[in-house]
Amino acid sequence: MSCCFFGARKEGHDLVHHDTRDTGGDSIASTKNFSFNELRLATNNFHQTNKIGRGGFGTVYKGTLKQGKEVAVKTLAAESRQGLQEFLTEIETTSNVKHPNLVEIIGCCADGNNRILVYEYLENRSLDQALFKD
Ligand SMILES: Nc1ncnc2c1ncn2[C@@H]1O[C@H](COP(=O)(O)OP(=O)(O)OP(=O)(O)O)[C@@H](O)[C@H]1O
């Protein structure tokens, strides 16, 4: 079962609604709920050649969704000290903040033991290109 704490469906994906018991009820964030299989397909089974980095959360892969959209897929490392609460907090904070210079969270996956965040993919550009693209 995926995302047992999430509800409602829209366009083939579940909408993520944080359980307000977890958040104190003061905000509700909405992101897409991906199945593990969707992200496995998008990253060619998390293939080494799609690996683009590693941070505190875990390994990051480049993926391509069925519709052709490129995404960054952040997988929570098994040894990571970031647990479910941090996972929810990252979704909560990133989905509530929108800014042209901040990468946007697209969705997440909590399927079995897997905890994965999906972001829009950003090309590796110089900072001035990223900041002054318009
Ligand atoms: N949206 C993205 N688009 C393209 N590459 C990304 C994206 N997000 C992360 N990466 C790549 O993955 C690497 C690790 O990113 P991640 O956000 O997990 O950690 P970090 O920001 O480097 O550090 P920390 O875990 O402390 O936040 C980045 O340095 C970058 O190369």
Residue 24 region by backbone torsions, left for phi larger than 0, else alpha for psi between -120 and 50, else beta: left
Residue 84 Cβ inside 6 Å of ligand 1? The answer reads no
Which residue's CA is the closest to the ligand 1 atom numbered 12? 53
Question: So what's the pLDDT on residue 82?
Answer: 65
**Mutation probe of ligand 1 site: the residue of 52, 76, 82 with most atoms within 8 A of C-beta:** 52
Residue 55 Cβ inside 6 Å of ligand 1? The answer reads yes
The residue written with tokens 């992200």 in the block is: 39
**Is residue 31 helix, strand or coil?**
coil
Computed on alpha carbons and rounded to an integer, the radius of gyration of the chain in Å comes to 15
Cα 17 to Cα 40: distance, rounded to the nearest angstrom = 23
DSSP assignment string, 108-133: EEEETTEEEEEEE------HHHHHS-
Give the angle subtended at the CA of 55 by the CAs of 65 and 14, to the nearest 5°: 35
Question: So what's the pLDDT on residue 133?
Answer: 63
pTM of the model: 0.76
Report the separation in Å between the CA atom of 123 and the middle of ligand 1, taken as the mean of its atom positions: 12
Pairing type for strands 32-33 and 105-111 reads parallel
Question: So what's the pLDDT on residue 95?
Answer: 83
Positions in the chain short of pLDDT 70:
1-30, 79-82, 125-127, 129-131, 133-134
Report the separation in Å between the CA atom of 58 and the middle of ligand 1, taken as the mean of its atom positions: 9
Question: So what's the pLDDT on residue 20?
Answer: 34
**Is residue 96 helix, strand or coil?**
helix
Q: For domain 15-131, say whether CATH 3.30.365.10 is its number.
A: no
Question: So what's the pLDDT on residue 134?
Answer: 59
Report the separation in Å between the CA atom of 15 and the middle of ligand 1, taken as the mean of its atom positions: 24
The tens digit of pLDDT for each residue in 58-97 reads 899 999 999 999 999 999 877 666 677 778 887 888 888 8
Nearest to 103 by CA among 133, 69, 62, 71: 71
Question: So what's the pLDDT on residue 44?
Answer: 98
